[in-house]
């Protein structure tokens, strides 16, 4: 109680009483809101309404925000999911609505309501891994002045990074990684975030962020920097001058940018004894690593993946804290033993090194003793040039988890003794070597492998029983291992969690069981191609993402496809089997399908309408079936098509104009051996990327369109960078598997599988049609052509000398037409030509001389009665009218090249003159040394030329003598 006793103090007392009364009223009003009778903190009504307004703008399909509401039991927003309140005031301090990265269906969608601005005490906001569908980051977030942590990673935001974020002066953590964000200019606003400790802008496109070095130098508290995949431009050396570098950085990730060696000075200045992790992978570094890296005493992780580095310095052996070394995909050269020595010398001998990644370099030699790395967990040496056997010291690396040795030249026999101590091993990759695995039949490994890659190792003929103990495997590749056994029943029980299975290129027999419940992983990939499995194809996992059953003996229909209900299927290859029936009409459920190969079966009937839903199809092969009807117009929806092979069917009608108009990306088009008629539409000339055009064995008439020179890809002699073959990439995390679609084409009379060389193959085949008219000059502009087949048509006219421009030509067939006139001598300049057929035309005159044309057999020129000269038996008139040489005048007989003045006397005079001239200057040369050296070089060249000419012409004279 306050009592005022002095009149002079009455006014002051009155003011004091007012103040006390006001405080009491405020406390009276606040008390119910802060805590109830049970002292449970409750949120403020205004902030609760703000959160509910925020919820209204979201789409919550999974009920993530089901605890948010106005009902009595939901009155306290401090108990709502993701809401964190102050224990004293009840103010909302944090909002954590991060979705699970493993379950995208649980992500929130919609928009962010500005009602969040009423949460003026908010210090923490995390909306990562939600789906905001390409909307921009709201600018009003920059007005949440008390924010210390802002995490919006992988939330599918798009657009420019708002500069208003620079108003968040208390921000310590900024995480915007893996969105579709970019900088509209510089990022000077970052300089105002003086408290920032953690900055992650990975995958934000910052190519215009030219002053990034200067901006980052102002962030004096920064400890973690992540700017990977940002398209950062190289540092210019002048920009490094007069900058006060931060010395607090512990983690530096600048991977996947365009940085050059100019990054080193900045990096070495900002780095201190605190730096723990440096990642410069996938940049443009070259040469050797600077010595200054060796002074980073606390560096534990150095990642220089995918650069052009050629040398590993010896100082790495003195970095006592180094645990993880990633040098894969560089140009490192030399012996593996030398590299290991450089890393293991000094204080790191018997070191704590845990990761050693050296994959995809140019390292050679045999694997040395690795006993100096007892802590090694990952050993990655794949795709080098290593030889010899696998070092026994690997078997003593007790902590080894990943052993990756694929793609080398390793040989020898591996027994279970190598693995007896490797109980921690979870990934084994020995594929693509010349290794033989000999394990006892009852061997039980000490490990449980997650990933097994043994492709092209020798394992068979029996199916490996030791796999029965590997019940945790998620990826298995035992392709091309010589197994000629029936797959045991127990094996299919192990496939429950497999997401990749490859049994291809063996001689496995039997029937496949019902696989619909065997694979329970998300989007498994299955490849059992090139075996001897038979019978009908069983039910398959409904969520399969890739399926290759080609080159087996499967029979029956493929109606099982309709049981695959998911939209994950991307790759489907059922080619080269014994399947028959009509194609199923359920293709609408395969809207993700990119590769479809049903070639070499016995399907019949028309192509079903539901194939119009294959909008993402890139490669389509229905080659060698019995399909009929016209070419469905719905294929014009397949704008992604690069390969369309419908050859060897019974398709009919005219070639549609929409092929050229609606399929601009076609690289391979084969309609061979069908019943198409009519003209070649000029719209095909819109196919500027086309490299294989095969319309042979049809009833096509008319003339060849003059616009063929618009086939731009064929006008280039070098390999195209277009991908003809469609590759399905199945990501296994540690190892990517490429499963290429194989394109079958008849060339040189046989069936070829074009794989990696397809970029070099450029073919036009219009043979066996009813085409007329002349061979156009425009075709001679296609200088990249490797094969040109115009045989069995009604073409006429003379062959232009410009045919000599086709310097890449390996195959030329003009047979069975009505060409006339002489054979152009320019043909003899086609040095790569290995197959040629000009038979059954009306060519006349002498076959041009030259080794290139004479080495073909007489059948090449058969059916041209007016042709003469080698290799035909009938000689030309000028040859027959020449006098037969006698024994006396043999040396005076002219040859067929017009060298009639060259005689034995000529050679005698020439040699005599040479010696006279030579010794006539010898005196001078002996006196003056500079002349001597000059004349010596000159005369050496003259001597070589004369020698060659003499040998050639003497051989001609000797040939006449024999005749």
Report yes or no: 179 and 158 within 8 Å, Cβ to Cβ.
yes
Give the pLDDT confidence score for residue 895 in this predicted structure.
36
pLDDT band at 880 (very low <50, low <70, confident <90, very high): low
What is the spatial distance between Cα 8 and Cα 81, in angstroms, rounded to a whole number?
Answer: 59
Where residue 383 falls (left for φ over 0; alpha for ψ -120 to 50; beta otherwise) is left
Report yes or no: 552 and 529 within 8 Å, Cβ to Cβ.
yes
Report yes or no: 316 and 343 within 8 Å, Cβ to Cβ.
yes
Q: Which 3 state secondary structure label does DSSP give 279?
A: strand
CA torsion, ordered 320, 323, 326, 327, to nearest 10 deg: 30
Give the pLDDT confidence score for residue 731 in this predicted structure.
41
pLDDT digit string, tens, across residues 129-184: 999 999 999 999 999 999 999 999 999 999 999 999 999 999 999 999 999 999 87
Give the pLDDT confidence score for residue 242 in this predicted structure.
56
Give the pLDDT confidence score for residue 821 in this predicted structure.
94
Where residue 116 falls (left for φ over 0; alpha for ψ -120 to 50; beta otherwise) is alpha
What is the percentage of the chain residues whose pLDDT exceeds 70?
Answer: 80
pLDDT digit string, tens, across residues 363-395: 999 999 998 899 999 999 999 999 999 999 999
Tell me the two tokens of residue 744: 């079958």
Terminal CA-CA length for the chain: 145
Q: Which 3 state secondary structure label does DSSP give 656?
A: coil
* Range 840-844 average pLDDT: 95
Give the pLDDT confidence score for residue 603 in this predicted structure.
97
* Range 601-607 average pLDDT: 96
Give the pLDDT confidence score for residue 238 in this predicted structure.
59
* Range 252-257 average pLDDT: 95
**Residue 479 neighbours by CB under 8 Å, 6+ apart:** 455, 456, 502, 503, 504, 505, 506, 527
Distances (CA, A) of 955 to 41, 480, 655, 737: 111, 54, 57, 59
What is the average pLDDT score of the chain? 82
Give the pLDDT confidence score for residue 40 in this predicted structure.
66
What is the spatial distance between Cα 408 and Cα 414, in angstroms, rounded to a whole number?
Answer: 15
Q: CB 757: neighbour CB atoms within 10 A?
A: 12
pLDDT band at 22 (very low <50, low <70, confident <90, very high): very low
What is the spatial distance between Cα 319 and Cα 526, in angstroms, rounded to a whole number?
Answer: 45
Answer with the residue of higher pLDDT: 875 or 160: 160
Buried/exposed code over 493-506 (b: 16+ C-beta within 10 A; e: otherwise): ebbeebbbbbbbbb
Q: Which residue has the tokens 């310095």?
A: 313
* Strand 727-731 to 736-740 pairing: antiparallel
Give the pLDDT confidence score for residue 723 in this predicted structure.
44
pLDDT band at 72 (very low <50, low <70, confident <90, very high): confident
Calculate the CA 938 to chain-centre distance.
54
Least confident of 362-366, 474-478, 496-500, 904-908: 904-908
Give the pLDDT confidence score for residue 254 in this predicted structure.
95
Instruction: State yes or no: pLDDT of 316 exceeds 90.
Output: no
What is the spatial distance between Cα 344 and Cα 318, in angstroms, rounded to a whole number?
Answer: 8
pLDDT digit string, tens, across residues 520-572: 888 899 999 999 999 999 999 998 999 999 999 999 999 989 988 778 899 99
Instruction: State yes or no: pLDDT of 938 exceeds 70.
Output: no
Q: Calculate Rg over the CA atoms of the chain.
A: 39
Highest-confidence range of 526-535, 536-545, 707-716, 902-911, by mean pLDDT? 526-535
Instruction: State yes or no: pLDDT of 840 exceeds 70.
Output: yes
Q: Which residue has the tokens 């001897």?
A: 532
Tell me the two tokens of residue 629: 């009807």
Say whether the peptide bond before residue 461 is cis (omega within 30 degrees of 0).
yes
Least confident of 64-68, 268-272, 758-762: 758-762
* Range 93-105 average pLDDT: 85
pLDDT band at 94 (very low <50, low <70, confident <90, very high): very high
Least confident of 194-203, 650-659, 939-948: 939-948
What is the spatial distance between Cα 918 and Cα 227, in angstroms, rounded to a whole number?
Answer: 73
Answer with the residue of higher pLDDT: 252 or 314: 252
What is the spatial distance between Cα 209 and Cα 225, in angstroms, rounded to a whole number?
Answer: 15
Where residue 407 falls (left for φ over 0; alpha for ψ -120 to 50; beta otherwise) is left
Distances (CA, A) of 930 to 471, 914, 927, 933: 82, 22, 9, 5
Instruction: State yes or no: pLDDT of 850 exceeds 90.
Output: no
DSSP letter for each residue of 309-335:
EEE--GGGGG-TT--EEE--SS--EEE
Expressed in percent and rounded to 5, the helix, strand and coil fractions of the chain are: 25, 20, 50
Angle, CA of 363, 367 and 371, to the nearest 5°: 125
Greatest CA span in the chain, whole angstroms?
161
């Amino acid at each position: 109680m306050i009592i005022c006793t002095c009149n002079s103090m009455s006014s002051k007392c009155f003011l004091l009483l007012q103040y006390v009364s006001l405080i009491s009223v405020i406390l009276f009003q606040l008390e119910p809101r802060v805590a109830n009778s049970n002292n449970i903190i409750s949120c403020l009504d205004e902030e609760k309404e703000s959160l509910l307004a925020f919820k209204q703008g979201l789409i919550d399909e999974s009920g993530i925000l089901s605890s948010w509401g106005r009902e009595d039991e939901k009155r306290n927003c401090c108990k709502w999911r993701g809401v964190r309140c102050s224990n004293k005031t009840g103010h909302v301090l944090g909002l954590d609505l991060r979705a699970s990265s493993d379950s995208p269906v649980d992500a929130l969608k919609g928009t962010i309501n500005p009602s969040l601005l009423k949460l003026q005490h908010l210090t923490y906001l995390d909306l990562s891994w939600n789906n905001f569908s390409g909307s921009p980051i709201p600018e009003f977030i920059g007005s949440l002045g008390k924010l210390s942590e802002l995490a919006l990673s992988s939330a599918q935001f798009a657009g420019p990074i708002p500069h208003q974020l620079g108003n968040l002066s208390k921000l310590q953590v900024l995480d915007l990684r893996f969105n579709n964000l970019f900088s509209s200019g510089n990022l000077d606003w970052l300089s105002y975030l003086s408290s920032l400790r953690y900055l992650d802008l990975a995958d934000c496109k910052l190519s215009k962020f030219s002053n990034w070095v200067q901006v980052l130098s102002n962030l004096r508290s920064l400890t973690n920097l992540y700017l990977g995949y940002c398209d950062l431009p190289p540092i210019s050396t002048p920009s490094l001058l007069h900058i006060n570098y931060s010395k607090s950085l512990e983690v530096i990730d600048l991977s996947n940018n365009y940085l050059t060696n100019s990054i080193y000075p900045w990096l070495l200045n900002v780095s201190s004894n605190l730096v723990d992790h440096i990642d410069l992978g996938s940049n443009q570094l070259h040469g050797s690593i600077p010595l200054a890296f060796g002074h980073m005493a606390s560096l534990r992780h150095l990642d220089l993946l995918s650069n052009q580095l050629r040398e590993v310095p010896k100082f790495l052996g003195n970095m006592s804290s180094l645990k993880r070394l990633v040098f894969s995909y560089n140009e490192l050269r030399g012996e593996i033993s030398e590299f290991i020595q450089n890393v293991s010398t000094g204080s790191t001998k018997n070191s704590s090194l845990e990761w050693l990644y050296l994959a995809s370099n140019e390292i050679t030699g045999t694997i040395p003793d690795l006993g100096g790395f007892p802590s090694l967990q990952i050993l990655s040496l794949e795709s080098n040039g290593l030889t010899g056997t696998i070092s026994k010291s690997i078997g003593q690396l007790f902590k080894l988890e990943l052993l990756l040795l694929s793609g080398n030249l390793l040989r020898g026999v591996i027994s279970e003794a190598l693995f007896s101590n490797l109980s921690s091993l979870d990934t084994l990759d020995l594929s693509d070597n010349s290794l033989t695995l000999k394990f006892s039949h009852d061997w039980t490994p000490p490990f449980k492998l997650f990933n097994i890659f043994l492709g092209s190792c020798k394992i068979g003929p029996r199916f490996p029983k030791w796999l029965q103990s590997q019940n945790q495997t998620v990826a298995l590749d035992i392709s091309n291992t010589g197994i000629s056994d029936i797959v045991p029943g127990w094996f299919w029980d192990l496939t429950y969690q497999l997401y990749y299975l490859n049994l291809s290129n063996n001689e496995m027999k039997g029937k496949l069981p019902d696989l619909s419940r065997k694979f329970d992983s998300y989007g498994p990939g299955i490849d059992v191609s090139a075996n001897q499995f038979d019978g009908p194809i069983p039910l398959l996992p409904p969520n399969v993402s890739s399926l290759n059953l080609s080159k087996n003996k499967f029979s029956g229909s493929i109606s099982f496809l309709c049981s695959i209900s998911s939209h994950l299927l991307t790759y489907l290859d059922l080619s080269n089997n014994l399947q028959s029936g009509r194609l199923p009409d359920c293709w609408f459920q395969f809207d993700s399908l990119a590769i479809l190969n049903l070639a070499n079966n016995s399907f019949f009937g028309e192509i079903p309408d539901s194939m119009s839903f294959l909008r993402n199809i890139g490669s389509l092969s229905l080659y060698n079936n019995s399909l009929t009807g016209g070419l469905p117009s719905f294929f014009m929806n397949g704008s992604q098509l690069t390969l369309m092979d419908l050859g060897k069917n019974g398709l009919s009608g005219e070639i549609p104009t929409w092929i050229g108009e609606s399929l601009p990306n076609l690289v391979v088009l084969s309609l061979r051996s069908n019943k198409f008629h009519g003209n070649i539409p000029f719209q095909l000339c819109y196919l500027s990327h086309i490299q294989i055009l095969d319309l042979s064995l049809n009833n096509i008439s008319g003339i060849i369109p003059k616009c063929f020179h618009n086939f731009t890809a064929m006008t280039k002699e070098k390999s195209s960078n277009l991908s003809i073959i469609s590759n399905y990439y199945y990501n296994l995390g540690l190892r990517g598997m490429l499963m290429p679609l194989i394109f079958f084409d008849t060339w040189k009379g046989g069936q070829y599988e074009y794989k990696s060389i397809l970029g070099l193959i450029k073919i036009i085949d219009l043979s066996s049609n009813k085409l007329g008219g002349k061979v156009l000059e425009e075709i001679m502009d296609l200088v990249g052509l490797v094969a040109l087949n115009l045989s069995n048509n009604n073409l006429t006219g003379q062959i232009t000398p410009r045919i000599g421009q086709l310097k890449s030509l390996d195959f030329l067939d003009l047979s069975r037409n009505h060409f006339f006139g002489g054979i152009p001598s320019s043909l003899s300049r086609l040095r790569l030509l290995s197959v040629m057929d000009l038979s059954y035309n009306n060519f006349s005159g002498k076959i041009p001389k030259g080794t290139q044309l004479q080495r073909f057999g007489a059948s090449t020129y058969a059916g041209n009665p007016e042709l003469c000269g080698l290799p035909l038996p009938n000689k030309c008139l000028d040859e027959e009218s020449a006098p037969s040489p006698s024994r006396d005048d043999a040396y005076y007989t002219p040859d067929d090249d017009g060298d009639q003045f060259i005689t034995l006397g000529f050679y005698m005079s020439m040699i005599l003159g040479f010696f006279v001239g030579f010794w006539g200057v010898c005196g001078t040369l002996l006196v003056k040394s500079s002349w001597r050296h000059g004349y010596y070089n000159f005369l050496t060249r003259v001597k070589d030329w004369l020698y060659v000419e003499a040998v050639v012409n003497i051989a001609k004279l000797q040939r006449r003598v024999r005749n």
